[in-house]
Amino acid sequence: MKADAISIAAGVILILVIAAAGCIEPPKPGGSSLSKPTASKTPGGIYNPLNPAVTPTTPPMYVTEVTPFETVTRPVPAVTTQGYSVFPVPSPVPEDLTCLIYTKTQPYSYNASAFSFNLQNPPMYIDYSVTPVYVTGTKIIQYRVDDSLVTYTDFSPDSFFLVTVRDKATGEIYLKNGFGPAQGYSRNVVGTIKVMQNDNIIVEFSGNQVTATAKIWVKPLGNFENIQNLTFSSCKYWDIPQNFLT
């Protein structure tokens, strides 16, 4: 009787153990019996199982940056050298182009030549070069101890070449300049004269004991008609603010 009671109790315990074992799922290979973590979401609400939720530091780009059609040109900076500034030279204006219209080479011995021109679009440029006569002489140089006799070579005091610009109708002199140290003019044998009168003018070349070459430059535009049909031997731009003797 006692043995039957023990057998019944053992059977009940066995049934309870089997029932409890059926409620527990055995662990999968490589798995864990710990609780499964919850995947994070980005701030935009998009499910991202691989990356944690991190606030982006830069906004996303939805367009592609390209080179604009218009570009901004930077101003050319001035270059400073040893305390002064050197600025870039501006580009010449096509309307300021001057062309050679007259050349005169002549020896002068108290004689002159002239030409007239109706200058409607000044300036006119007259550049010249002269070959004067040189003379040799002697002079005494005074020193504290004694005097010395030295030999020198210089321009002849009778050598000069002058350019005179006049009003053609009245003869009024607009300007007169050139080479002639003994006459009160420049010692420079090369020079350029700038004529600014808008007028019908006469240009005179005069001199003595020199051989001079003079060239006349004017703008074709405004001084000639049908300039597209004209040809010139030489053209250039000038940058002379006033009469220039070198």
pTM of the predicted protein model: 0.60
Q: Find where tokens 């300049």 sit.
A: 177
Predicted local confidence at residue 53, as pLDDT: 44
User: Does 191 fall in a domain?
Assistant: yes
Predicted local confidence at residue 88, as pLDDT: 59
User: Does 123 fall in a domain?
Assistant: yes
User: Does 39 fall in a domain?
Assistant: no
Predicted local confidence at residue 67, as pLDDT: 39
User: Does 187 fall in a domain?
Assistant: yes
CA atoms of 79 and 81, how far apart (whole Å):
6
Paired residues of 114 in beta bridges = 204
User: Does 139 fall in a domain?
Assistant: no
CA atoms of 189 and 130, how far apart (whole Å):
5
Predicted local confidence at residue 201, as pLDDT: 94
User: Does 169 fall in a domain?
Assistant: yes
CATH code for the domain of 168: 2.60.120
Predicted local confidence at residue 119, as pLDDT: 95
Predicted local confidence at residue 140, as pLDDT: 83
User: Does 167 fall in a domain?
Assistant: yes
Predicted local confidence at residue 219, as pLDDT: 94
Average pLDDT along the chain, 246 residues, taken 10 residues at a time: 58 60 52 45 40 45 36 48 55 82 94 93 96 92 79 93 94 95 95 94 95 95 88 86 50
User: Does 190 fall in a domain?
Assistant: yes
Predicted local confidence at residue 179, as pLDDT: 97
Domain range enclosing 190: 112-131+159-245
- Number of domains forming the structure of the chain: 1
Q: Which of 140, 138, 131, 194 is nearest to 160 (CA)?
A: 131
